[in-house]
Structure 1
């Protein structure tokens, strides 16, 4: 082991060279002073996927959202499909229920919240802000019956008078505060285990298209800010700790200008609608003297499309990577690269976004959005409450899903909910992080940065489980050949005595497979073998733990002491040396508080020395 002073000096400066050899790639740990927490809510799913397959994912957040929720009437459980299905009003959300339950107020919401609570998951529930909801279940609503008409009930945010748990379904009005009160009376406040968060409706920039019978005119920026702020204030009045997610934007087009008739009134002050929404909601919050937006919520379905054939006239036929049926190789390769648009400045996807919106620059969605948050409404969290990369029955769909979950955790996304079918390779991709051993074991809570020299062909994510101090590495091989890779621990002092391996690949099919365990001494450079087109999870176990103390393992003839050390999770420590117990000098200025065991070499400068661990400044 190298001299401890020089090794940790390099660590503190975060200077790490990327090394790769012919036919191999090295993933090098890049430790920070304070390990970054991975939000457990990034492993969420939209609730329409209730079922046995979903439960095997051990997911962490359940969202009740989608187009149906915009026209949902909590008083009678009717909803409207909008343009998804002939603007049809019916009992779709409760079709599987008994006639008695269908008529119970809030039953569609209760089904979702009950399901989440049975599994110990928090709920994200959508509230209705487009102005009207379905009044009946009498089928298709014609254009002539566009709201206001007797096919719709008016939405009001606040009710004058007392709340009731059995609302009047004939008065033509539905109250949002009465719905929130119903949920509080049924489940308690959010701080008591009730509904965790509320979403300010769903994809409002599309209301004039998807819900043209409810809201035929495109909403304005002023409208969506005003109604969102008013609704958030109402929720906070009833449940101060409940979080507000909004505005559930449908995709890139809405991020840019919201397709709003009044965008020109804001474009001089803001670079895109994301910034405008944040800035205007902050103004509303400042006026109200409380935060009215806790989580900026967006949807992101990749727009990358590739030529997969020609039509009868010889014109190119394009297929979007979100398609889950095609095995076209060009589509597969595009899907493998698409997650890089979330973060990578060196990856420019081929889509209308880079052609017409970014001027040929990389999408870099997360950095762009985080910059808007920092500039216009600091401390707002980020949610991606709908996404799907397609290819569910193709290995590329699984690798892309695993890649995306790693990115969300590493880059600070607060919450995310997968939208597509829970099937095929999507299942082992989630299990890789949330149920890798079939016993509910999961990827760690603290993210450890990893330097990866070849993002086009590999991805790598690392974490620490603070409960049992295991170290986790998820490595993805996007190539069509098995690869021998290296995990470089040489500058960290980390040492492990066991490694378990789990994973899936094109060859194994859509099933997570335990690859076995190895015992021994893992330190310095550890070999990680990755099958072709695979995603693997390596679990490293530390030796017997020490609790924030130095444990002397032995000494050398030159006076060097070998010691084992475990820094407390979250603590920032300095290792100091002294000759007289009065004057102390930092030997290691920064020790990351990640809870992992390290082995150090301590070489006193004099003939004798004393050592201590102290709080770092």
Structure 2
């Protein structure tokens, strides 16, 4: 990667009182949870033609950045996709029909991004593209230039209205370019891809399927065939039919829905006031309720990931950098609160706290029970700024909050400079488990710590949202003492153009840290994203032998008394040493191995619960094993 010189940015010293320090503490032995790899995703990576030379820049960046999932349906263009003819009608471009080959894109996923998950979608509208012979002649009209009138329904013989803001003078006939598409047609793509006589794609890499796209606004996006919005219950019936058919063909499928367009649609389905069995419901609560009722009646799982979209309108960086709090923070007053004011059934202008994902979790628990097994996801978002630093910090904050709160899927739609850099930093440097923290500054500075399974490596992401001022951090680590050198990787002062080319050619600034202590003092640049990469001193003992397969210690975890099995140790054992996670020796037991002795008994009943490292000193070198004590 490109190396930049930093001056006095990070220092590791014993704690010294400094004014305005932000105190953060992390306990390596504290509560933790797995981070979903599918938070590191993007829309529209794979070309819809066969890519054989690996030369596509987007695919290369995706591979280098460490993407784990790509959403390829195409948003609004997916709703009328005909997989048999490999064509789709484009509602944002006169409804014209163009070639779009999902088969090729899926093959590119397999060949160019092995191991990455792909996401496509089913069509619930009931109409899909039939042919390309009835397109509006956009080239003849204005050389295919964008103008206000691209929304006019001109495919199928329409007459253009020169007033771009208005409807077509004569709307095209959708019967000329669309055809019926029932549930069995849309789910038959599963047979085509995975069936006995199909393309033999491996279904484990195509598990995620979206239940269409933004159905609450079809009256606007697909008004060629939906002049008035179908009722919410009619949409649910279409959803149930497709979901059941898909589950029957592919039991391990992961279904995402209902994919609402934005904050208003989280609560409102079109202009409908939803009433079910005499009670009013906001859209997502009603959706969850009906899913629960139909699952109970049919015994078929109909939803795996509750999926939403998000497009705030503000361009103010001070506001934008707080917006990631919208999803879980019950104390945050959202400046763009709108649909949430209807959550109680009427209009309450005083409601400004969204916490929409937390609300959905509460509704899922209410209607489906504690063990509902439904994850949370966001498959589109975009913000209104061209500032690469703001893009990077917004994205980093979203990733951090979603890691913290166990979100399963995240694939931004709009993609700007700063975002490749951010996902690369999080995906390629972050570890598999999220740790809880104490302290921080909710508005300006957040810390998102990750730790590996063996608990000997930690990466902490820091986000400083202050537009102008650096921030001093006093970081205290418990149960983890870093080695003598650590690296801090930082993103800040990004230019307006793309800087991320590969894992080794990017805009990351690197600083090497020395003089470790249990307290680390850091200064974060203004408007920066940072990753502090730490290795535990226990790693230095012997990283390759910490879990030496030649040593068997049981029970592990244990309650105090352990047996060390020596049958696979050919050299004489001279000493048994016990270390805590801070690298301190807490016990020593001299021993001479006898030919007839096959084991050693070790008593740690006087020690506190936690992780310990056993070191066997032999005449041929040390052996190490990690154990857990839980009394």
Q: Tell me which interval the TM-score lies in, with the shorter structure as reference length.
A: 0.7 to 0.9
1:255 shift after superposition: 1.6
Matching residue of 1:563: 579
> Alpha carbons of 1:115 and 1:485: their partners in 2 closer, same or farther (altered >3 Å)?
same
Select between 135-144 and 475-484 the one with higher mean Cα deviation. Answer: 135-144
Q: Secondary structure at the match of 1:246?
A: strand
Matching residue of 1:281: 291
Deviation per residue, 1:169-191 (Å, 9 max, x gap): xxxxxx1232221111455476x
Select between 525-534 and 347-356 the one with higher mean Cα deviation. Answer: 347-356
Residue 343, structure 1, aligned to residue 328, structure 2:
yes
| Contact 1:63–1:417 (Cα < 8 Å) also in 2 | yes
> Alpha carbons of 1:113 and 1:409: their partners in 2 closer, same or farther (altered >3 Å)?
farther
Matching residue of 1:300: 310
Q: Secondary structure at the match of 1:228?
A: helix
Paired with 1:200 and 1:297, the residues of 2 have a C-alpha distance of: 10
Q: Secondary structure at the match of 1:79?
A: strand
Deviation per residue, 1:208-235 (Å, 9 max, x gap): 1100113322122212221112111111
Residue 530, structure 1, aligned to residue 517, structure 2:
no
1:507 shift after superposition: 6.3
Residue 77, structure 1, aligned to residue 77, structure 2:
no
Paired with 1:598 and 1:36, the residues of 2 have a C-alpha distance of: 23
Paired with 1:113 and 1:398, the residues of 2 have a C-alpha distance of: 31
Select between 25-34 and 289-298 the one with higher mean Cα deviation. Answer: 25-34
Residue 154, structure 1, aligned to residue 154, structure 2:
no
Q: Secondary structure at the match of 2:223?
A: coil
| Contact 1:497–1:542 (Cα < 8 Å) also in 2 | no
Residue 26, structure 1, aligned to residue 23, structure 2:
yes
How do residues 397-436 of structure 1 correspond to structure 2 at under 5 angstroms?
397-421=391-415, 423-434=416-427
Residue 130, structure 1, aligned to residue 131, structure 2:
no
Paired with 2:17 and 2:306, the residues of 1 have a C-alpha distance of: 39
Select between 411-420 and 110-119 the one with higher mean Cα deviation. Answer: 110-119
Paired with 1:263 and 1:63, the residues of 2 have a C-alpha distance of: 30
Report the TM-score, using the length of structure 1 for normalisation.
Answer: 0.72
Note the residue ranges of structure 2 that are not aligned, 5 or more in a row.
1-15, 48-55, 136-154, 159-169, 344-349, 500-505, 548-555, 563-576, 588-600, 615-625
Paired with 2:530 and 2:604, the residues of 1 have a C-alpha distance of: 45
Q: Secondary structure at the match of 1:433?
A: helix
1:348 shift after superposition: 1.4
Residue 588, structure 1, aligned to residue 608, structure 2:
yes
> Alpha carbons of 1:449 and 1:227: their partners in 2 closer, same or farther (altered >3 Å)?
same
Paired with 2:239 and 2:384, the residues of 1 have a C-alpha distance of: 32
Paired with 2:105 and 2:425, the residues of 1 have a C-alpha distance of: 28
| Contact 2:29–2:479 (Cα < 8 Å) also in 1 | no
1:465 shift after superposition: 2.8
**Count of residue pairs brought into register by the alignment:** 493
> Alpha carbons of 1:477 and 1:182: their partners in 2 closer, same or farther (altered >3 Å)?
same
Paired with 2:72 and 2:94, the residues of 1 have a C-alpha distance of: 22
> Alpha carbons of 1:68 and 1:109: their partners in 2 closer, same or farther (altered >3 Å)?
farther
| Contact 2:124–2:238 (Cα < 8 Å) also in 1 | yes
1:89 shift after superposition: 2.4
> Alpha carbons of 1:46 and 1:112: their partners in 2 closer, same or farther (altered >3 Å)?
farther
Aligned with 1:237 (options 248, 251, 265): 248
| Contact 1:247–1:298 (Cα < 8 Å) also in 2 | yes
Aligned with 1:290 (options 300, 303, 307): 300
| Contact 1:187–1:195 (Cα < 8 Å) also in 2 | no
> Alpha carbons of 1:113 and 1:42: their partners in 2 closer, same or farther (altered >3 Å)?
farther
| Contact 2:480–2:582 (Cα < 8 Å) also in 1 | no
Paired with 1:408 and 1:238, the residues of 2 have a C-alpha distance of: 31
Residue 366, structure 1, aligned to residue 354, structure 2:
no
Paired with 1:110 and 1:246, the residues of 2 have a C-alpha distance of: 25
1:392 shift after superposition: 4.2
Deviation per residue, 1:136-164 (Å, 9 max, x gap): 222124475555x2321101122xxxxxx
Q: Secondary structure at the match of 2:473?
A: strand
Matching residue of 1:333: 318
RMSD between superposed Cα atoms in Å = 3.4
Deviation per residue, 1:350-393 (Å, 9 max, x gap): 12428945734322232222222222232211110111234344
Paired with 1:354 and 1:205, the residues of 2 have a C-alpha distance of: 13
1:431 shift after superposition: 1.6
Matching residue of 1:384: 378
1:26 shift after superposition: 1.6
> Alpha carbons of 1:355 and 1:262: their partners in 2 closer, same or farther (altered >3 Å)?
closer
Paired with 1:492 and 1:32, the residues of 2 have a C-alpha distance of: 6
Select between 379-388 and 479-488 the one with higher mean Cα deviation. Answer: 479-488
Paired with 2:606 and 2:283, the residues of 1 have a C-alpha distance of: 49
| Contact 2:489–2:510 (Cα < 8 Å) also in 1 | yes
> Alpha carbons of 1:357 and 1:221: their partners in 2 closer, same or farther (altered >3 Å)?
closer
1:472 shift after superposition: 0.4
Matching residue of 1:450: 437
1:405 shift after superposition: 0.9
Report the TM-score, using the length of structure 2 for normalisation.
Answer: 0.71
Aligned with 1:483 (options 446, 471, 476): 471
How do residues 190-209 of structure 1 correspond to structure 2 at under 5 angstroms?
192-209=203-220
Aligned with 1:253 (options 244, 247, 264): 264
Q: Secondary structure at the match of 1:391?
A: coil
1:341 shift after superposition: 1.8
| Contact 1:477–1:534 (Cα < 8 Å) also in 2 | yes
1:468 shift after superposition: 8.3
Deviation per residue, 1:87-126 (Å, 9 max, x gap): 22233x3xxxxxxxxxxxxx23431452365212111111
Note the residue ranges of structure 1 that are not aligned, 5 or more in a row.
1-18, 94-106, 159-174, 304-319, 322-330, 435-440, 552-560, 568-574, 576-580, 600-611
Select between 331-340 and 114-123 the one with higher mean Cα deviation. Answer: 114-123
Q: Secondary structure at the match of 2:120?
A: strand
Paired with 1:347 and 1:506, the residues of 2 have a C-alpha distance of: 28
| Contact 2:429–2:459 (Cα < 8 Å) also in 1 | no
How do residues 517-556 of structure 1 correspond to structure 2 at under 5 angstroms?
517-521=512-516, 523-543=517-537, 544=540, 545=543, 546-547=546-547
Matching residue of 1:571: none
1:471 shift after superposition: 0.3
| Contact 1:69–1:201 (Cα < 8 Å) also in 2 | yes
